[in-house]
Amino acid sequence: MPGVSVAPSPVLEFSHRYGPHLNKPILIYLRVAGSLTPMPIRESDSILSVKLKIQADRGFFVRNQKLFFDGRELARNNSCVRDYGVADGDVLHLVLRLSDLQAITVRTACGKEYEFHVERSRKVAYVKRQIVRKGRGSVDLENQELVCDCEELEDQRLIHDICRKNGDAVIHLLVRKSAKVRPQTVDKHFEVVIDASDFNELAGVVGEHQSWDLLKPNIIESRPLPKDFLLEPFIVNREIELPFVLKELIESTIQGLERGNEPIRSPEGSGGAYLMQDFSGLEYVSVFKPIDEEPMAVNNPRGLPLSLDGQGMKKGTRVGEGALREVAAYILDHPVVHNSEKGFAGVPPTVMVRCMHREFNYPEGYEYTSKNFKIGSLQMFVKNIGSCEDMGPRAFPMDEVHKISVLDIRLANADRHAGNILISRDGEDGRVVLIPIDHGYCLPENFEDCTFEWLYWPQAQQPYSPETMDYIKSLDAEQDIQLLKFHGWDLPVECARTLRISTMLLKKGVERGLTPFAIGSMMCRESPSKESVIERIVKEAEESVLPGASEGSFLESVSVLMDHYLDALSNEGH
Ligand SMILES: Nc1ncnc2c1ncn2[C@@H]1O[C@H](COP(=O)(O)OP(=O)(O)OP(=O)(O)O)[C@@H](O)[C@H]1O
């Protein structure tokens, strides 16, 4: 398991920056999974040092921790707790992102061994299907029994529960009719040993491999068809014809649900994000994020407190609007080549849907009635080898980083941390491709919480390529606002203003040959209490126009001030 990947320098930096008089000890409380633990810290402690303390006391790695206070994520590791207004007696909420994979080994008496990993949030039924797949038909789905400690495991049991109950648990695979079972433990993995004395009989006299193919079961026909779910596109404007890629996304998700392949809640993230399975139950096809399960929403499954004023986890966003923003990011990610399915930054295809399924979070219980409909975003699942948290940034191609920077600057993304960029490999040479996900905090009403992880990557210091510059020049915020309106989201005036100002900044910065770092830095605060340059520009522009002045005059004033700041920056040689 990876350890702390952050250099300790910010902690040292903080103890130097704050004198002993500002280093007051305070007692805060940590709420994690329902329990409250007191924790002595100092006001000037950085968020990182608090996380390191939690790691030392509780064993949760820093990278798996997300801390929340007063409806806000303490996202900046370098900032100190006082910057976030944390004081004596306050309660911090800790949300954990835990590694979810459990290794499983299946060994036959003939010495054949198969290894695979399943998420702990999977059910026993899924493990059975994996065994069938790995065994290429030597074991059929109908004739399997998984037994642990002499107890037969029901299909609906979660692997997580079995691990928790049994520690170094062994799952015994029983093949009815023809196999005996010999349990064995290998480290912390499950080991399933099949002593199938009459394996040959099962496999046929002509040898294992041939007969496996002959015995391959028809998984699909053997599954019952549940009737208690619903999934359909949620389209406001009837003039809109869903593009093929989105129709297909919805269709393949429905097929998976019809086969009984239930949604699986992702162990990562602070809201409810459900991984939707395909027809075969062996692949994920989409990710559903219902709005009532967003962080601080009424049915959030992570125990985050309800928002009291409706404000979302990032400043300038509202609880329940995450799905709108997810879909908006896809719509605005215009392709370079007209009509191409892939947008410039590669935001996975995303559509608004209505869905109900018993696996979602229904604290009052589930019934198949329209009151249980959940509205949310359905996004194409992209196969990946991890996120940018798992790899050093030097491995990322420059244009991949630049495309994400363009998206984030345009949309004033308030949640671009490394975990929200997935990594996949493309083509024969296995080129690294970055996939931006999680755009629920784009287009906020103000710039207060803009954070861009890529700002500190070396690629951000390099100028944009001519192709990227051409793309940026082609952007038009007014058209974007109209496009979103056509799709049913009439942007609130503050969010439209954000889009206009960010697009203006990106275009003006590029005209002056500024790097993503130089432009992006203007949008991000150095610390939670220090306004960013863009915030100063907005404030000065507001002060320079008469009360009641039109949005046009205000933007004109922003443009003049922005030129002034950018020219100063260009003269400094950025
Ligand atoms: N399109 C996708 N393709 C593949 N995996 C995805 C996709 N979208 C989300 N995931 C997986 O689901 C997890 C949770 O999704 P996401 O980060 O969007 O949820 P969230 O609750 O908004 O998270 P956060 O706390 O970071 O805001 C991600 O960490 C990722 O592993």
Choice from 245, 268, 333 to test ligand 1 binding pocket (greatest atom count within 8 A of CB)? 268
Parallel, antiparallel, or unpaired for β 274-277 and 374-380? unpaired
CA–CA dist 135, 109 (Å, integer): 13
- The answer to whether 158 touches 123, Cβ cutoff 8 Å, is yes
pLDDT tens per residue across span 528-560 = 889 999 999 999 999 999 988 999 999 999 999
Q: Which of 314, 518, 498 is nearest to 411 (CA)?
A: 498
Confidence class of residue 193 from pLDDT cuts 50, 70 and 90?
A: very low
* Architecture per CATH, 25-96: Roll (3.10)
Q: Name the fold adopted by 101-134+144-163.
A: Ubiquitin-like (UB roll) (3.10.20)
Residue whose C-alpha is closest to residue 88's, from 26, 177, 17: 26
154-193 exposure pattern, b = at least 16 Cβ within 10 A, e = fewer: eeebbbbebeeeeeebbbbbbbeebbebebeeeeebbbbb
Predicted confidence at residue 459, as pLDDT, reads: 98
Residue 185 pLDDT > 90, yes or no? no
Q: Please work out whether the CB of residue 273 comes within 6 Å of at least one atom of ligand 1.
A: yes
Predicted local confidence at residue 486, as pLDDT: 95
- Residue 62: the pLDDT is 87
* pLDDT score, position 138: 64
Confidence category of residue 310, pLDDT binned at 50, 70, 90: very high
Task: With cut-offs at 50, 70 and 90, classify the pLDDT of residue 114.
Answer: low
Distance CA 444, CA 411 (A): 8
Regarding the beta carbon of 276 and ligand 1, being less than 6 Å apart is answered no
Among residues 192, 140, 150, which one has the least CA distance to residue 171?
192
**Ligand 1 neighbourhood includes 415 CB (under 6 angstroms):** yes
Instruction: Give yes or no for residue 419 CB within 6 A of ligand 1.
Output: yes
- Is 140's C-beta closer than 6 angstroms to any atom of ligand 1? no
Q: List the domain boundaries for the chain.
A: 25-96, 101-134+144-163, 227-381, 390-573
Q: Strand locations in 383-454, DSSP E?
A: 421-426, 431-436
- Kindly state if the Cβ of 271 falls inside 6 Å of ligand 1: yes
Residue 167 has what pLDDT?
A: 53
The torsion defined by the Cα of 324, 327, 331 and 334, in degrees rounded to 10, comes to: 120
- Please name the residue whose Cα sits nearest to atom 20 of ligand 1: 269
* pTM, full prediction: 0.76
Q: Is 263 in the pocket of ligand 1 (CB under 6 A)?
A: no
CB 80 within 8 A of CB 43: yes
CA distance 259 to 262: 8
Residue 149 has a pLDDT of 66
Pocket test for ligand 1, best of 437, 439, 441 (most atoms within 8 A of CB): 437
**Which residue's CA is the nearest one to ligand 1's atom 1?**
381
Nearest to 315 by CA among 451, 488, 484: 451
Distance (angstroms) between ligand 1 centre and the Cα of 262 equals 18
Residue 57 has pLDDT above 60, yes or no: yes
Cα(419) to ligand 1 centroid in Å equals 8
Q: Look at residue 403 and give its three-state secondary structure.
A: helix
Give the Cβ contact number of residue 152 at 10 Å.
12
Instruction: Kindly give the distance from the C-alpha atom of residue 54 to the centroid of ligand 1, in angstroms, as a whole number.
Output: 24
Mean pLDDT check: name the lowest of 11-15, 85-89, 151-155: 11-15
In this structure, how many other beta carbons lie within 10 angstroms of the beta carbon of residue 222? 10
Cα–Cα–Cα angle for 78, 494, 528, rounded to 5 degrees:
15
Nearest atom (ligand 1) to Cα of 415? 27
- pLDDT exceeds 60 at position 389: yes
- Nearest-angstrom CA–CA distance, 42 and 73: 19
Tell me what the pLDDT averaged over the chain comes to: 82
ipTM over 0.85: yes
More confident residue, 216 or 177: 177
The DSSP secondary-structure symbol of 370 reads G
Atom of ligand 1 nearest to the CA of 275: 12
Q: Do the domains 101-134+144-163 and 25-96 match in fold?
A: yes
For the stretch 346-349, contacts whose Cβ atoms lie closer than 8 Å and that sit 24 or more positions apart, written own/partner, are: 346/403, 346/433, 346/434, 346/435, 346/436, 347/407, 347/436, 347/437, 347/439, 348/379, 348/380, 348/381, 348/382, 348/435, 348/437, 349/243, 349/245, 349/246, 349/249, 349/379, 349/380
Instruction: Decide which of 527 and 396 is more confident.
Output: 396
Q: What percent of the chain has pLDDT over 70?
A: 76
pLDDT in tens, 243-301: 999 999 999 999 999 988 889 988 777 899 999 999 988 899 999 999 999 999 999 98
User: Does the beta carbon of 379 lie inside 6 Å of ligand 1?
Assistant: yes
Give yes or no for residue 520 having a pLDDT over 60.
yes
Ligand 1 pocket test: pick from 94, 278, 287 the residue with the most ligand atoms within 8 Å of its Cβ. 287
Q: 120-141: per-residue pLDDT in tens?
A: 667 777 777 777 666 656 666 6
Q: What angle do CA 554, 558, 562 make, to 5 degrees?
A: 175
Helices (H) and strands (E) in the chain, counts: 16, 20
Percent of the chain with pLDDT strictly greater than 90: 54
Q: Is 297 helix (H, G, I), strand (E, B) or coil?
A: coil
Residue 99: pLDDT band (50, 70, 90) is low
Quote the CA–CA distance of 232 and 494 in Å, as a whole number: 31
Q: Looking at the predicted structure, is the pLDDT value of residue 339 above 90?
A: no
Q: Order the strands of the 65-69 sheet from edge to edge.
A: 35-42, 25-32, 91-96, 65-69, 72-73
Whole-number Å distance, alpha carbon 250 to ligand 1 midpoint, is 18
- Tell me the residue type at 184: Q
C-alpha 402 – ligand 1 centre gap (Å): 21
**What tens digit of pLDDT does each residue of 405-433 get?**
999 999 999 999 999 999 999 877 889 99
Query: Residue of the nearest CA to atom 19 in ligand 1?
Result: 269
Asked if 28 and 46 count as a contact pair (C-beta separation under 8 A), the reply is no
pLDDT tens track for 136-168: 566 666 666 676 666 777 887 877 677 665 554
Q: For a substitution probing ligand 1, which of 121, 266, 379, 383 has the most ligand atoms within 8 Å of its CB?
A: 266
The answer to whether the CB of 346 is under 6 A from ligand 1 is no
